[in-house]
Each structure stands twice: as C-alpha cells, then as structure tokens.
Amino acid sequence: MPMNLRSKTRGFTLIELLVVIAIIAVLIALLLPAVQAAREAARRAQCTNNLKQLALAANNYESSNGLFPAGSYTNVVAGSKYPENFSCFVRMLPYTEQSAMYNAVNFNLNSSNWDNLTISGVQLSILTCPSEPSVTPSLISAATPSASFNVYKIASLPGGPWRQCFTSYAGSAGTFNFGYNTSFPIAEYTQQNGVVINDGVISIAMITDGTSNTFLFGEHSRFSLQKSGNGYVNSDCSWNSARYYDTLFGTFYPPNPPTSKAYSYYYPEAAAGNHPGGINVAFCDGSVRYIKNSINSWTISGSNKSKYGDNYPDGTVISNYIWSYGTAIPGVYQQLSTRAGGEVISSDSY
C-alpha cells in the first residue's frame, strides 16, 4: 500500500452554509423576544421596588409627622400667581436616605428660586423608572425664557447652565387634580379627594376606604406625557416642583390614555408608564400592584366639552373651577384613587 495516502477532507457546500445561517437566524429571532421580555421583567421589578420604597418612606413620614407628605405647601414668594411650591419628594428626602440634600434646601424661598437649583439638578435613582426611555435633564440658564408663572428669577440667575432633573412617579391627588391660581376660590382645594394633595393634612386615620384600597404613588412618565409647553421654563415631571403636572396625578383620565384623542390640557396629569399594558401603583399599605390599561374606568365619549378642552368624562360638571361627579359613574380606577369615597371594591376587579 502506498505510504503517503492523503486523507480527503470535505467542506461545506454553499447551500449547506446558507441553511446553517438561516437556522441560526431563526434561533436568534426566537430568543430575542425572550431576552427582551426578561429585561423588561427586571426593569419592571426595579420600578416596583422604587414605588415600594417611596410608599415606605411616606408611611414613615406619616408616623413621624402625623400626616402624609402633602403634594405642596403654599408658595412663599410674593406676587407668584400659582401657589404650588416644593413637591412631596422634597419633603420626603430624610426618609429616603437623603438628609444631606434636604438640609441644603432653603424652604424660605420658592422651590424654583435659583438658590434651590442645586437640588433640582440631582437625578435620584428612587425616582427613576429604568423603563423610562430618556432621563436627560433640561438645562436652565439666564437665556431661558421666563416662565409665565414667574417662579424663576431669571434676571438674577447666576452662571449656568443649571440642570433640571425629573421623576417617573407622582403622588395620587385623587379623581380631580388640577393646578391652583390665586384668583381661584379656596374651595378648589376640597375637590382633591386623594392622599397626596396640596396643603394636605391627610393622616392614615382619614383613609377610611382602607389603605389597601387607596392609591398613594403611581407612574407618571415624562416620556409618555406632555414633555414641555410653550412659555414654561421646566418640562413636566420636574421632581422638586409641585405643579399638578409635575409630581401629582389624578384619575380623571384612564392610565396611559391614547394620544390619538384630543384631550384637554389636564392630560399631562394622567398616570402613564412605559411597561407593556399598564402601570405600577403603590397603595397606602405599602403594597405595589400592576394596574392594567383596561381597568374599569368611567366613560369618556367626547360629548362632554367646555372652554377648557374636549373629552371630559361623561356627566362630570365644572362650576367656578370646582369639579364634581355630577351624573358620572366612577369606575374602579377612580374609586381606588379616593381616600374616603365609601366604595366597596373587590380585589378581583383590577
């Protein structure tokens, strides 16, 4: 036999190579959604943990002060048309392990005075949902147009630009949550039937609907809602601001209302998130539950209109800035947002 027989090696044909590539592509296509779902599950779990920590901080605040943190306390700056001041999150700083930042706040000035811009530029991880597509802060400088509500003293703004950071969460003001104006009647405050309300003195004993049946905090995504408005220095969801569209939400509209409808200018106060199909909400007992977009809510047909915009819930009535249910029938979503509505809500209804 020949001593130097060569062993013949056979390579892949082009067709075989293409088949292998196609199989790999199919496997990747099958695995990618699973990977994305796993990542979203992790982000949603982190969001749930953030809300749980906020609920725990708010309950510790209530234990120490005898009341839950208010959505705001009346503005101390003379001549300001809108009275909202520091947000509930600023008041809660000592209970979220941020005592040093709390001590840096000058409560003798407005939350948006340039002396308090140092804290406005801090992005707190507990206030940031990992599913939020963008948390890039806005930049504020002396060249920024002054706000229509004259909160910033732009003319005296030193240096800059300064950062304005945001929150993915907001306190539950109840069914009706709207901004305040010094020309409005004081009775407007009474329409907020939630827990985190302006100038609120809500204790845990006042939540007669039950702490496990009452919203405390919910998702309020800056990305999903109105991001900015003409004439405003800050975009919505500024974490230190107590304006109604920044750090408070109401159940006037359902969670994640579709942008295809022509909502009124109250739309930015709606609860909204970036998780598929719903939002995370913390209840007053410290639990966090997932509220689906399909939760029972009252009817909005577009027939109820006023000078404030279109698409109000059918039957609701506004008179001299005061909202009431009128003939509207609150859904489960609205009932969960009230602290003392007297509703009977089954746990399997949401």
Backbone angles phi, psi at 289, to 5 degrees: -130, 155
Backbone angles phi, psi at 219, to 5 degrees: -70, 140
25 belongs to a structural domain: no
322 belongs to a structural domain: yes
26 belongs to a structural domain: no
DSSP letter at 313? P
Mean pLDDT over all residues of the chain?
Answer: 80
CB atoms within 10 A of CB 135: 18
85-130 pLDDT, tens digit each: 889 999 999 999 999 999 999 888 777 777 777 888 888 999 999 9
Rounded CA-CA distance 304/309 in Å is 9
CB atoms within 10 A of CB 119: 20
pTM above 0.85, yes or no: no
Would you say residue 65 has pLDDT above 70? yes
The residue among 117 and 42 whose pLDDT is bigger is: 42
7 belongs to a structural domain: no
CA 166 distance to own-chain centroid: 10
263 belongs to a structural domain: yes
Average pLDDT over residues 154-163: 62
5 belongs to a structural domain: no
Partners of residue 162 on adjacent β-strands: 140
pLDDT computed for residue 235 by the predictor: 44
6 belongs to a structural domain: no
Would you say residue 291 has pLDDT above 60? yes
82 belongs to a structural domain: yes
B/e letters for 67-82, b = 16+ CB within 10 Å, e = fewer, are bbbbbbbebebeebeb
Instruction: Note down the domain range covering 231.
Output: 37-349
**111: three-class secondary structure by DSSP:** coil
The pair of three-digit structure tokens given for residue 35, joined into one six-digit string: 């990977």
Q: How many domains does the chain have?
A: 1
Sheet-wide strand order for 288-292 = 248-250, 169-174, 215-219, 278-283, 288-292
pLDDT computed for residue 64 by the predictor: 95
